[in-house]
Structure 1
Amino acid sequence: MCTVTIIPTKNNDFVLTTNRDEAPDRVSLIPDFYTIDDTKLLFPKDKMGGTWIGISEKNRVVCVLNGGFVNHERQSSYRKSRGIVANDFMISDDIAATIEGYNLQDIEPFTVVIADWNTNLKFYELVWDGKYKHFIELPLESRIWSSSTLYSDGMQRERQQWFENLEALSDLNADALLEFHSTTDTNNMDYGIVMNRGFVKTMSITQVEKRGNAIGMRYENLDSKLVTIKTFNLPQVVNG
C-alpha cells in the first residue's frame, strides 16, 4: 500500500502494481473472492476486514496508500479503517458521486488510486488530508506514487526518477513493472522499492492486469515466496 505504479496499455486496459510496506507482524490473507452488497470482489484481506488493493465487478480497481500529501501525526484511534473505505469504493455504482458524498471525517489520511472502466478507461486520484478531499481525474499516463508516511520528498523524487529511467529504457508492460517493483535498488533497505527498516518492510507485491473482459491479480508474499494468481471475467462494457 506504499508504492504504486499504473500504466495504460491498449484497448481500455491497464496494469497496476503495488508494494505493501507494513509491520511484519500485521497479518493479512491471500487474495480471495468475496461478496459485499451483492457485488463480487477479489482482494487480499487485512485484519480489519478491508484491503489495500481490490478488483470489483463494478468495473473498478481501488488501491490505497497511507498518508496524504505530507506525513501526518497519527491519532490514537479512528472511526473507520481505510481498508473498509476501499471496500465501500469498490461496491459503488458511481465512484465520483460516492466520493463526493462520502464522510471521511475521523478517518486517517490516505491516497487512493482508482481505475474505472464503466465507459472508457479513467484513472482517478483521491487524497484525503484529514480535513479536505482532493479528487481529480488523471490523464491516462504512466505514474508512480510513494507513501508520504514512509518516504520524504527527496526519497519520492528519487523513486520518481527510477521510474522515469525505466520508461526511457524499456517498453512498459506487466513483466517490466513487476521487475521494477521487485529489484530496483535492492541494496537500499531504507527506500528501495523493496524496503526493510526492521519495524516496517515490504511484505508483498500485488499486480493487477486488465486485458479485455478478463482481469487478473498476482500476489506474492515476500517472506514465504508464495505466489497466488486469480482471475475473473468482467461484465461486457460498451465503450462510450
Structure 2
Amino acid sequence: MCTVTFVPSEDEYLVGMNRDELFSRPRALPPKVFVKGAMEMVYPREPSGGTWIACNNQGNLLALLNWNGSLSHNLGEKRRTRGLVIRELAGEPDLPATDSAFRRMNLHGVFPFRLIGVFRSEKIVNEWRWDGTVKQLLRLPWARKHWFSSSLSDSLAEKERRRACEAVAGEPAAGSNDWIRRLHRSHVPGPGPFSVCVHRQDAATVSYTEVRCSKTQISMDYLDGNPCLKTRFDELASLAVKDPLAHDNLPKLQI
C-alpha cells in the first residue's frame, strides 16, 4: 500500500513516497547510512531490517510497492518478506548489475510486488514485477510518473489517486519540493482508502519519504506519521554521490 511520485530533470530527480500500512505493523526506523562492501546506501527500515525505499551513492534508487493483482488469492504461504528485496539489490552499482541480480533472485514464497528502479547515470527507469510466479520487466522513459497500490484494490487506487495527480500536474510549481509534499498529503476527493494520503479504520499513511538526487548529493527526508498531520520532517540523512569520504560524520551500520 503506497504511492510513489518520480520527478526528473536533466541531471537530477526528486522522489516522494507515501508508505501505507496496517496499524498492527510495528513502527519503522528512520533512515541511516549503511555500508555494503564498497557501496554506501541510505534507507529507512523495519525493525526486522527490511525496507521499501533506498538510494545508493551512485544515485540509483529502488522503491517497492505491493502488487495486489489477480493472482493474489492463490499465493499460498508467505515464506520471505518483500522488505528484503531492496536490501539485497541496493548495493549494486548500476542498471545491468541490478537487473542481473534481480533475475538471479529466488523469490519463491515472496508475495507479488512492483520494484521501481531509478538510475541517474543511465537516465532510465525500470519497473520489475513479480506476480508470485513469473518475473517481468518494463522499461520506462525518464519522465514524471506515479505508481499506486492498495491492499483493497490497486485499480481503484490508480483511478482515484491519478485524478488527484492530474488535477495539480499543470500548476506552475509542479515538480517542486513543495508541490510533491502537498500532493502526498492530499485527500482528493476526500480522506479515505484511495486518497493519496490514506485514512482507513485499520490502516493509514504511516510515513512520507522524500529523496532528492543531484550530481553531487543525495538527501533523504523522512516524516514519521501521516503527512497531512505534520509539516516538519523528523529525520534527514544524506550521501555524497560517488564520494565516500564526504559523509564520515554520518552514522553507518555494516550489513
Residue number among 123, 126, 151 corresponding to 1:124 in the alignment = 126
Residue identity matched to 1:229: L
Q: How is 1:155-170 mapped onto 2 (pairs within 5 angstroms)? A: 155-170=157-172
Higher mean alpha-carbon deviation, 92-101 vs 197-206, is at 92-101
- The C-alpha deviation readout for 1:189-236, integer Å capped at 9, x for no partner, is 221111121211110111111122101111101269452122110117
Give the 3 Å change call, closer, same or farther, for CA 154–77 of structure 1 in structure 2.
closer
Structure-2 residue corresponding to 1:145: 147
Listed as ranges, the gaps of 5+ residues in structure 1 are none
Q: Does residue 212 of structure 1 match 2:219?
A: no
Which portions of structure 1, spanning 4 or more consecutive aligned residues, are displaced by more than 3 angstroms?
68-71, 74-77, 223-226
Equivalent pair of 2:68/2:154 in contact (CA under 8 Å):
no
- The C-alpha deviation readout for 1:24-57, integer Å capped at 9, x for no partner, is 2422101111223442121111122110011112
Give the 3 Å change call, closer, same or farther, for CA 177–6 of structure 1 in structure 2.
same
Q: How is 1:73-88 mapped onto 2 (pairs within 5 angstroms)? A: 73=73, 77-88=77-88
Residue identity matched to 1:20: R
Percent identity at matched positions? 23
Residue identity matched to 1:14: Y
Q: Does residue 109 of structure 1 match 2:112?
A: yes
- The C-alpha deviation readout for 1:88-123, integer Å capped at 9, x for no partner, is 110124112112222222211111111113x33211
Length-normalised TM-score, structure 2: 0.83
Listed as ranges, the gaps of 5+ residues in structure 2 are 244-255
Q: How many residues align?
A: 234
**How far has the Cα of 1:65 moved from its partner?**
0.6
Give the 3 Å change call, closer, same or farther, for CA 50–77 of structure 1 in structure 2.
same
Length-normalised TM-score, structure 1: 0.88
Name the SS of the counterpart of 1:185 in structure 2.
coil
Structure-1 residue corresponding to 2:246: none
Give the 3 Å change call, closer, same or farther, for CA 173–234 of structure 1 in structure 2.
same
Structure-2 residue corresponding to 1:46: 46
